[in-house]
Amino acid sequence: MYYNFALLSYLAYQTISQKNILIVLNDNFEAKTFYESLIFFKEYYKKDVYINFFEAYSIGAHSSIAPSSQTIRMRLKTLAELKSKDRNHFLVASQEALMQPTIKEESFLLNSIERNQSLNRKEFIELLVNLYYDPTSNVEDIGQYCIRGSLVDCFVPIYEKPLRIDFFGDTIDDIRMFYCYNQRTHSKIDKACITYAKEYNFAEDEYGFSLIGENIRGYLLDYKKVKELTKYCYFDERTSELSFKRTKSDDSIYDLRILKEKTIDYMNFINEFETIFASNIPTPQKLDFLIELSRSMKVVIACASDFRVDKLKNILQSKGARIVTDDEYGIYLSNGYLKKGFRTSKIAFVSFEEIFGVAVQKDQELSPKMHLVQFQKDKLIAHKNYGIGIYRGIKTLKVEDALMDFFEIEYANQDKVYVPVTNADCLFEYSGTAQIDSLNSKSWHIKKENAQKAIKKILTELVNVYAKRKILTRAPYDTDLIEIKEFEAEFEYQETQDQLQAIEDVKNDMRSNTPMERLICGDVSFGKTEVAMRACAIACFNSRQCIVISPTTILSMQHYSTFTDRFANFPVKIALLNSFTKKSDREKIKSGLEDGSIDILISTHSVYFADINFKNLGLVIIDEEQHFGVKIKEHFKQKYETVDMLYLSATPIPRTLNMAINSIFGISVIKTPPLSRKRIQTYVIKQTDKIIKEAIERELSRDGSVFFVHNRIETIYEVKDSLDKLVPEYEKHIIHSKLPKNEIKKIITDFANRKFPILISTSIIESGLDLKHVNTIIISQAQNFGLSDLYQLRGRVGRSDIEAFAYLLYDGPLSEQASMRLTTLKEYMERGVGFNIALKDLEIRGAGNVFGKDQSGNLKAIGHDLYVELIQEALSQISNENLEREVEIKFIDNMYIPDWYIDNEKTAIYTLISKAKSEEELNDIKTYIEDRYGKIPKIVLRLIEISIIKLYAKKAFVKSLIFGKKGVSVQFYIDAKIDTDKLIKQVNILKGKFLSETMVFLNIDKDNLNVLKKFLINIV
């Protein structure tokens, strides 16, 4: 469907001065665009008006697929606003949305709660159940609730964030909102409303999801407030015909009254305004035009964020523009979002997208997540000293009249080890399939020793290689050119902090006189390519050439498309060299590289050939570097000695390794997604024709496209035949690796250009295709894919601001590994956890390629988490840093987390506390625990205090701390590097004594741990 965005913006501009109106448009997308435009003009003109968007469901009355959480939120929030607000109200909806049933007004109650209110906690939980809230262990989506001690969490759809209600008996003591992402408090509030959780219910029947009962079902047009609104119907006859067809099969459920309303042809307004720019005008000319226009009228630029306001302000001021904040002539920079602008005789509105040619979205906030390690009962676990055993759970034992929690681990011959919770830092997740170790065998120590030797050898080689590069020099780049600033301003998203840091790291490398050697590590679609393009911009605008090397032909094609679009407004010539390139074109490209007329070459490994020469090569970028061997990297370093090297990788580098690796070569990690990207709704369900048909129709009904992945070439044409029967009205094409190269290229190009809506493919699309109009992927026989493969495929969608769907379909009985993969993907569904998934996959499949060297045997033998720990220890040794060793603590006192305080997540909290690396981190964990579970009992605070002591004991080379009735004995390692004079002084201050050359006794009570902490700090 064609959308006239400038016309929609103008209609919103004309509408904002009216009162109490209902605007009905053709479809969801048009209605949403109009709604966003109204929001912009409301904020710009400071209008006191409530604006709501009543979104239509993309599924029918019965569906195998769950309704969208975002749609539920928008609809129920609208119902609540209509019930509670008497002020000027604007309601925006599509025709179909008004036809779909909802909760009738008399049933939609706003159950108010507030602080200090007397409320029976049990009755409150019953209320949540009656309003269709679902119980869960962690509230992460709307319509969920969970109970932990005095806390009841629930996600009421009318709010952006879930509520945490803290009861003191039967009184509400506190109400706060929290982040789903990390379960931390966002803000405290005094009152809230509890509404219905949803309009669809799930049942294990032939329908799956069905509209809620008829007794509470009604229609929006019957709401009292809606009846008072003046209707403006801007939909056409074609829309009415389609809506009537869709509802004809079950017209008793739908409200057809809106079809009879008088409509307005909004094309009647087309002559009341002008568009701002003609097509194909370069960005610099657009900016010059706006500056000239602003001398005779006010020009308002919608930048969509404060960040972009600042970026554009710098560019415009460097060009002499007058930036204003009031109603005079000049340029006004707004942080509001507008899809497209227009111009009248008095004022001009222009969007960021119109100037820079890229779509932007209003930014969303994101807060860091606390990573929890939850050991699974009766699954394998690795102990640093004893090896791989079976974790049997938490066991509470009585030790000298004290109750203490231990991790129970079973080894061969049913031998058991009980690990104190204060030593949980010795335990590591293990997801492989190794045999359990024997406590009577040396095999574990041999495996660990072999891994340590291999790691040390690899790291020593790396240190030597990169040390040689650090001696070389080259001319520094100018990173402050105006062209670079303009290029940065064109980025369609606001950069995340991680991404900004990565960009700044690259800039610092390039403005120095030492060749860059940097790895950018980040999850699928987290913005690594943008960092690479910023580096290319710096090189090109400093008159240097660049190469971007990809592992696959498809990825090289995608990069060529992305780079061409991104550099479209700049005099940068880009060429593509891969197996699809014709011989005649190849010769032209070679000449262009040699004479310097080509600035950026996008290529596969064919660039490695000896006959490819560059006039002035400055930067080599290797994407998905884990797929390349050492030879291709060394080729460029030898042929162009001072060339800058930038590697992009999705291979996980755990947080704890970042600083250590940085001592060898530069590494930047991007951990968070672009802020405007929406979460991918992921379904792991049994494959049926009904689900496939509904998934395809759901996407195509909103004018999107679909990937259908089937990874067996011999049966892929049968799959197409089956899809032709299911959805015969839609065109489909197939690609796989055995097709002729030109045919693959044509099909991919046609799909990218939206000439057909369904692409059936093998996993050939896993790396490379980045198409923003494709927001549904269906993966057939998902149980046969590796976990990282599934995550990569899932990452092909969700690359815009449109909600995306991934259907992982399985058939037949699942093997243990397949079940493990799908379970893990369910656990890590939210964005930003691809690293965790890849780490899991390394163990499940027994793979391993750390620092470019195959280590699969060692990694599988000891587990990835412990392997990473050994890398960190080896790096410390090579860098001559003090290696922190284990500390044995004997502290006999009640040491456990009460069941009433934390139940299901005990192991995660014990591990979180024990593995903390600093007192600051432990204080943050303390805040997290209190925030999530309520006021911390003293017995749990003691655990945190012991962990703080342990941290300082490690830094002071302490081997053991033994607490007795009269004091504490401190034993040091024989090679402890401590100041003897300081030690003697501190022992004397505490009236202690030396028991031996390596042991002292301190007269410190176990309830006064702060004194021990000061002692440990003062002796180092």
How does pLDDT run across 393-423, given as a tens digit for each residue? 999 999 988 999 999 999 999 999 999 998 9
CA-based end-to-end distance of the chain:
71
Question: In CATH, what number is assigned to the domain containing residue 352?
Answer: 3.40.50.11140
Q: Contact, 990 vs 1002, CB < 8 A?
A: yes
User: Which of 12, 426, 393, 448 shows the shortest CA–CA distance to 234?
Assistant: 12
Q: What is the pLDDT of residues 1-29, one digit of tens each?
A: 567 899 999 999 999 999 999 999 988 88
Helix (H) or strand (E) holding 239: helix 237-248
pLDDT at res. 803: 75
Task: Report the distance separating Cα 611 and Cα 609, nearest Å.
Answer: 6
Q: Are residues 93 and 214 in the same domain?
A: yes
Partners of 103 in the beta sheet?
A: 217
Q: Is residue 524 assigned to a domain?
A: yes
Tokens standing for residue 43: 């904020």
Q: Are residues 95 and 137 in the same domain?
A: no
Return the sign of the alpha-carbon dihedral for residues 148, 833, 360, 310.
positive
Tokens standing for residue 707: 């990937």
18: phi > 0 → left, psi -120 to 50 → alpha, else beta; which? beta
Q: Is residue 514 assigned to a domain?
A: yes
Residue 666, φ and ψ in degrees, nearest 5: -70, 135
Q: Are residues 716 and 809 in the same domain?
A: yes
pLDDT at res. 843: 47
Question: In CATH, what number is assigned to the domain containing residue 143?
Answer: 3.30.2060.10
Q: Is residue 177 assigned to a domain?
A: yes
Q: Is residue 910 assigned to a domain?
A: no
Q: Contact, 343 vs 276, CB < 8 A?
A: yes
Residue 740, φ and ψ in degrees, nearest 5: -60, 145
Kindly give the parts of the chain with pLDDT less than 70. 1-2, 85, 202-209, 239-240, 242-251, 279, 357-372, 524, 606-610, 626-627, 629-630, 651-664, 673-679, 767-769, 787-788, 801, 816-817, 820-860, 879-882
pLDDT at res. 214: 80
Q: Are residues 24 and 69 in the same domain?
A: yes
Q: Contact, 353 vs 283, CB < 8 A?
A: no
Q: What is the pLDDT of residues 62-80, one digit of tens each?
A: 777 778 888 899 999 999 9
Q: Contact, 806 vs 794, CB < 8 A?
A: yes
Q: Is residue 323 assigned to a domain?
A: yes
pLDDT at res. 229: 94
Q: Where are the alpha helices (DSSP H) in 542-652?
A: 553-566, 583-595, 630-639
- Exposed e or buried b for every residue in 887-899, given b needs 16+ CB within 10 A? bebebebebbbee
Question: In CATH, what number is assigned to the domain containing residue 812?
Answer: 3.40.50.300
pLDDT at res. 365: 47
pLDDT at res. 250: 61
* Count of all residues that appear for the chain in the document: 1020
Q: Are residues 734 and 602 in the same domain?
A: no
Q: Are residues 264 and 186 in the same domain?
A: no
User: Which of 266, 258, 269, 267 shows the shortest CA–CA distance to 231?
Assistant: 258
Q: Residue 117: how many CA atoms within 13 Å on its side-chain side?
A: 16
DSSP 730: S
Q: Are residues 215 and 147 in the same domain?
A: no
Residue 145, φ and ψ in degrees, nearest 5: -145, 155
Q: Are residues 517 and 651 in the same domain?
A: yes
pLDDT above 90 covers a percentage of the chain that reads 46
Q: Is residue 637 assigned to a domain?
A: yes
pLDDT at res. 364: 47
Q: Is residue 399 assigned to a domain?
A: no
Q: Give every CB contact of residue 373 below 8 A, 6+ residues apart in sequence.
A: 429, 907, 908, 911, 912, 915
Q: Is residue 370 assigned to a domain?
A: no
pLDDT at res. 844: 47
Q: Are residues 542 and 639 in the same domain?
A: yes
Q: Are residues 724 and 798 in the same domain?
A: yes
Tokens standing for residue 348: 């001009």
Which of 650, 670, 690 is at the close of a domain? 670
pLDDT at res. 6: 92
Task: Report the distance separating Cα 655 and Cα 701, nearest Å.
Answer: 42
Domain enclosing residue 64, as ranges: 5-105+202-270
Which of 270, 286, 313 is at the close of a domain? 270
pTM for this model (two decimals): 0.68
- Total domain count, the chain: 5
Task: Report the distance separating Cα 846 and Cα 834, nearest Å.
Answer: 18
Q: Are residues 215 and 316 in the same domain?
A: no
Q: Are residues 652 and 712 in the same domain?
A: no
Which of 670, 696, 730 is at the close of a domain? 670
Q: What is the pLDDT of residues 707-728, one digit of tens each?
A: 999 999 999 999 999 999 999 9
